[in-house]
C-alpha cells in the first residue's frame, strides 16, 4: 500500500497551519500512528527538507531526510515530506523539527513537542473495610490504578467531596510503581480515617484517578458505604451511636384502612432510633405477640 493511501486510510494526521514560531504541543495515545507535517515543503520530490529528532530513543539529534533510509520501524519521511511515527511510544516523547526550503527559496521551520499517554483501567478499591469504629483509626481500603501513563494521581472522596489528609482524622499512604518493560504506572493509595463519635452512621467512600495530562477525564471507582459503630460497651457486641426515639408513626396502606371484606390492609410501625427499639402490636387492648395471627384472621383482617 502506498504511503499516501495509508495516511488517508488510518493514520492520525496532525496539521498545524502557518509558519511555526516555537514548539507546537502534540499529545498522542501510546501505540497509535502519528504524522507530523513539514510546513513549506514541496508536496512532491525533489524536496529540500530535513527532520531532526531528539527523543528518548536518541542520545543526540537524529537526522532524517527523504533521500535517507527509514529509521527502523520508528520513523520515516513520507513522499510529501511529512514524518510518520507508525506506533508512538514512551521513548518517542521529545522534540521534532523540520526545516524545508520551497522551490522559490523560502525557508520554513516546523517545531513539535510530542507527549504520549495511556488511559489506565478503571480504578478499584481492594480489601475494603466491612465496618468502621468511631474514635479510633480504621483502614477504609486501598485504591489501585493500573496501566496508566503519565502516572497521574489518586484522590479519595467522602460523600462525593474530596478528602484532604490532615494526619489526624484522615491519612493516606501512597505508592507508585513503574513497569520495567512497558513503562506504565501502577498507583496505590491506602486510606485511614478516624470517624467522630456521633457523626454520620453510613459514610460513603469512593476514589478517583486524575490523569497526568490536561483535558483528560477522571476515572472513578464504585462507591462503598460503611457502617460506623461506637466503642464496645461492657464486653458486649458493638453498639451504634445512640439516636433517641422522637416519635412513632403508624402508616396504613391503603390510606384510611377502608377495604372490602377479605381485602388486605398493611400496617407499618415507623420508629426511627438507634439502637432499634422493640415493637409490640396491640389490637383492642390485646397483646398480639402470641396468637396474633388467629386474632387477625378471626376478625377478617390479614397481617
Q: How far is the C-alpha of 218 from the C-alpha of 211, rounded, in Å?
A: 6
Q: Which range in 9-13, 140-144, 226-230, 235-239 is most confidently predicted, on average pLDDT?
A: 140-144
Grid coordinates given for 38: 513539514
| pTM of the predicted model as reported, rounded to 2 decimal places | 0.66
Measured distance CA(73)–CA(294) in Å, rounded: 86
Helix/strand/coil (H/E/C) assignment for every residue in 245-283: CCCCEEEEECCCCCCCCCCCCEEEEECCCECCCCCCCEE
In the prediction, which pLDDT does 285 show? 59
The reply to whether CATH 2.10.10.90 applies to domain 24-116 is no
Tell me the torsion sign for CA atoms 116, 122, 126, 130.
Answer: positive
The model's pLDDT over 258-274, given as tens digits with 9 standing for 90+, comes to: 777 877 878 888 777 76
The correct answer on CATH 3.30.590.10 for the domain covering 124-229 is: no
- Tens of pLDDT along 143-198? 999 999 999 999 999 999 999 999 889 999 999 999 999 999 999 999 999 999 88
Q: Is the pLDDT of residue 113 over 90?
A: yes
CA 33 to chain CA mean position, Å: 26
Do 211 and 118 form a contact (C-beta atoms < 8 A)? no
- 124, 221 in Cβ contact below 8 A? yes
Give the mean model confidence (pLDDT) for residues 251-257: 76
Integer Cα distance of 35 and 22 in angstroms: 19
| pLDDT (0 to 100) of residue 104 | 86
Q: What is the pLDDT of residue 287?
A: 52
Q: Which of 161, 210, 152, 157 is nearest to 184 (CA)?
A: 152
- Phi, psi dihedrals of residue 92, rounded to the nearest 5°: -90, 0
The answer to whether the peptide bond before residue 46 is cis (omega within 30 degrees of 0) is yes
CA-CA-CA-CA torsion sign (121, 123, 129, 131): negative
Per-residue pLDDT at 9: 29
Per-range mean pLDDT, top range of 67-76, 116-125, 210-219, 275-284: 116-125
pLDDT of 301 > 80? The answer is no
Tell me the mean pLDDT in the region 4-26: 44
Rg (alpha carbons) of the chain, rounded to whole number: 34
Most confident of 98-102, 231-235, 241-245: 98-102
CATH 2.60.40.10 in the chain, residue ranges: 24-116, 124-229
Contact 222, 245 (CB under 8 A): no
For the chain, the farthest-separated pair of C-alpha atoms sits apart, in whole angstroms, at: 109
Amino acid at each position: 500500500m502506498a504511503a499516501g493511501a495509508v495516511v488517508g486510510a488510518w493514520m492520525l494526521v496532525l496539521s498545524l497551519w502557518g509558519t511555526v514560531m516555537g514548539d507546537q504541543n502534540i499529545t498522542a495515545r501510546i501505540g497509535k500512528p502519528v504524522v507530523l507535517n513539514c510546513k513549506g515543503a514541496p508536496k512532491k520530490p525533489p524536496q529540500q527538507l530535513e527532520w531532526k529528532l531528539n527523543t528518548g530513543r536518541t542520545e543526540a539529534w537524529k537526522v532524517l531526510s527523504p533521500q535517507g533510509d527509514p529509521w527502523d520501524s520508528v520513523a520515516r519521511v513520507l513522499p510529501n515530506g511529512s514524518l510518520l511515527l507508525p506506533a508512538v511510544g514512551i521513548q518517542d516523547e521529545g522534540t521534532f523539527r523540520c526545516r524545508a526550503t520551497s522551490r522559490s527559496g523560502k525557508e520554513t521551520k516546523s517545531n513539535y513537542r510530542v507527549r504520549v499517554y495511556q488511559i489506565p483501567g478503571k480504578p478499584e478499591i481492594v480489601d475494603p473495610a466491612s465496618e468502621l469504629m468511631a474514635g479510633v483509626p480504621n483502614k477504609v481500603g486501598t485504591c489501585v490504578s493500573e496501566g496508566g501513563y503519565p502516572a497521574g494521581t489518586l484522590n479519595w472522596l467522602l460523600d462525593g467531596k474530596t478528602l484532604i489528609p490532615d494526619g489526624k482524622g484522615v491519612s493516606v499512604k501512597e505508592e507508585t510503581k513503574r513497569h520495567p518493560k512497558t513503562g506504565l504506572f501502577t498507583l496505590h493509595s491506602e486510606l485511614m480515617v478516624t470517624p467522630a463519635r456521633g457523626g454520620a452512621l453510613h459514610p460513603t467512600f469512593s476514589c478517583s484517578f486524575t490523569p497526568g495530562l490536561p483535558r483528560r477525564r477522571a476515572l472513578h471507582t464504585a462507591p462503598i458505604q460503611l457502617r460506623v459503630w461506637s466503642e464496645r460497651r461492657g464486653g458486649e457486641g458493638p453498639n451504634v451511636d445512640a439516636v433517641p426515639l422522637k416519635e412513632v408513626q403508624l402508616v396504613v396502606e391503603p390510606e384510611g384502612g377502608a377495604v372490602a371484606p377479605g381485602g388486605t390492609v398493611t400496617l407499618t410501625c415507623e420508629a426511627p432510633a438507634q439502637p432499634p427499639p422493640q415493637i409490640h402490636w396491640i389490637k383492642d387492648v390485646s397483646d398480639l405477640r402470641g396468637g396474633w395471627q388467629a386474632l387477625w384472621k378471626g376478625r377478617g383482617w390479614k397481617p
